[in-house]
Structure 1
């Protein structure tokens, strides 16, 4: 019987070549190839859920639900929270959380619609919304990455502070937008081939987010930090700087979403973005992004947004109470987390 060649014959155990799989970062719940299949299956499942919801909407309210205007409304409403969810997906993938996204959207929307800001027209409103979002994200990133605050506490503090500042700016009043070039983007005349401009912005952000997460060093570092921050640090990744960039990215998405919301509503209010943090987290989770970090999917998050928005639309058309909607969303979130835990446990055995 042929004896296996020992490592000592090649210079001892210290020089033994590691298995090929050791060069790859460990993934939760299985290898990378298995992970890719699992993510595809999850996305297909979400597409199936979305198809069922469309069938339910078409059966219960065929004239209203399948109307072109209603379908455009679903996509438009998905766009604002969808952009926020893209940023949230990056943060959760890194093992963090951002509870302040809704408040940042509110603050950016009211700051960008003050009379002083509107004097600078379209560019002034857009620039202010994005700048405020980036500023709030920078504060979150500095507190978490360099101040070493727990993300939950830091972003919770930002939630309270941003909401309070938004209320102070507006004095509880609605700020009406008077810049016609901004308002025109929300009108049907601005649609391109029947597609609202906000949907095109959402599509662009989604594509860019997917490319960054899946095809760049920044995306790989994000996954590595979420999988094991200490191992990422030992591998040469500046974990603190990476986390700062991620919360800046979340703030940028909130600024863009705030501008989209201004177009959609034609105003700025301190109540804008209410519960966006819960919707964004829920959409990312049911899409397949691990709440513990280390795995994220932009496509799944977008599908999660579409599922939640479609459910809300169907309930509204059928005159169901909002509390029923929240119960349904809660049940979906719990089911998604249980599936994630079961999948991870199965992969680790």
Structure 2
């Protein structure tokens, strides 16, 4: 008879595999087969990953919206100028959404992205900053975004604050500071190098520079999330922060880097908005936080963390931007547009819940 606390010398084959945890070890299965409970090599699981039904459904929704636009306003909606406008408008909020996707994937939230865009755009368009030309405006916008992200990250990662509260405080503070700097006035950009980026003469093969920036940020974001250790750590923290810590991941440092990344994206988006509007205002980025979070959620990023998709987030941004464009072309009221967006968000969350239920 075994003494108390001792482990049996052998385990009957019929017994289930032990659950990983404190003091438990995985037993090796037959050669060539994964341990019990793992489905990494399950063909069905691999098929689901390759053929993401959510992304396909978003592509379908986008196709329907394009068809509706082509039917109701064929000359206006399908024109090259309008398509360039839709992509340009999607670019600014799209860059913000890439940063937000990383934060949500880690199980966090960032409600301050719109306010950070406003503060960065205002600070970057002051007369003192414009004296340094395009480089000064871009550098200022990026540094302001990084500074705000640093404050968020320190408060959350090392200060122990709940992300919702910390970023809500940043939202209020950044909006207030933007109002104070601008004195409630629109700051007009006089640097020709910046203004020229928004003109058709700067388009390359018919593609606006802002769209190219968005495409570059999207590609880099996808590679970082899906092909780097940083991305794997982000997903691990979102899935189970304590397990990630026990596995050797510096959770605090990772969270700090994620909010820095969100701030960086906001700084880049602020510069793009300055190029697009030719000005800096304390009202810039209004409700960007809601649009970015909604785009990430309908794209397939879990609000609870542990799963994120850059491709889905970009498709979500394109869906929302196309809806806005359609409503504008058809002279429909904005309240109906908001109702439509709300319905899409609710439907996406219900689908998410249904897929996660065993």
State the TM-score bracket (shorter-chain normalisation).
over 0.9
Task: Pick from 67, 80, 83 the counterpart of residue 92 of structure 2.
Answer: 80
- Mapping for residues 262-301 of structure 1, pairs under 5 Å: 262-301=274-313
Q: Is the 8 A contact 2:117 2:284 kept in 1?
A: yes
Task: Pick from 259, 282, 288 the counterpart of residue 247 of structure 1.
Answer: 259
Report the Cα distance in structure 2 between the residues aligned to 1:281 and 1:113, rounded to whole angstroms.
Answer: 27
Unmatched segments (≥5 aa) in structure 1: none
Q: Is the 8 A contact 1:186 1:196 kept in 2?
A: yes
Match of 2:113 in 1: 101
- Mapping for residues 1-349 of structure 1, pairs under 5 Å: 6-7=10-11, 17-18=27-28, 20-21=34-35, 33=46, 36-37=49-50, 40-345=52-357, 349=358
SS in 1 for 2:301: coil
Report the Cα distance in structure 2 between the residues aligned to 1:93 and 1:115, rounded to whole angstroms.
Answer: 39
Unmatched segments (≥5 aa) in structure 2: 1-8, 19-23
Deviation at 1:36, TM superposition (A): 1.1
Deviation at 1:23, TM superposition (A): 9.9
Size of the aligned set, in residue pairs, is 335
More helix by share: 1
Structure label with greater radius of gyration = 2
Report the Cα distance in structure 2 between the residues aligned to 1:129 and 1:144, rounded to whole angstroms.
Answer: 23
Quickly say closer, same or farther: Cα 1:22–1:299, change in 2 above 3 A.
farther
Q: Greater CA deviation, 40-49 or 209-218?
A: 40-49
* Alignment TM-score, normalising by the size of structure 1: 0.92
Q: Is the 8 A contact 2:27 2:35 kept in 1?
A: no
Match of 2:4 in 1: none
Report the Cα distance in structure 2 between the residues aligned to 1:213 and 1:22, rounded to whole angstroms.
Answer: 28
Q: Is the 8 A contact 1:7 1:16 kept in 2?
A: no
State the Cα RMSD in Å: 2.1
Q: Is the 8 A contact 1:25 1:224 kept in 2?
A: no
Q: Which runs of 4+ in 1 moved over 2 A?
A: 5-9, 13-26, 31-35
Report the Cα distance in structure 2 between the residues aligned to 1:93 and 1:156, rounded to whole angstroms.
Answer: 19
Relative contact order, higher structure (CA 8 A, sep 6+): 1
Deviations 1:169-220 (A, max 9, x none): 0000000000000000000000000000000000000000000000000000
Report the Cα distance in structure 2 between the residues aligned to 1:107 and 1:261, rounded to whole angstroms.
Answer: 12
Quickly say closer, same or farther: Cα 1:161–1:308, change in 2 above 3 A.
same
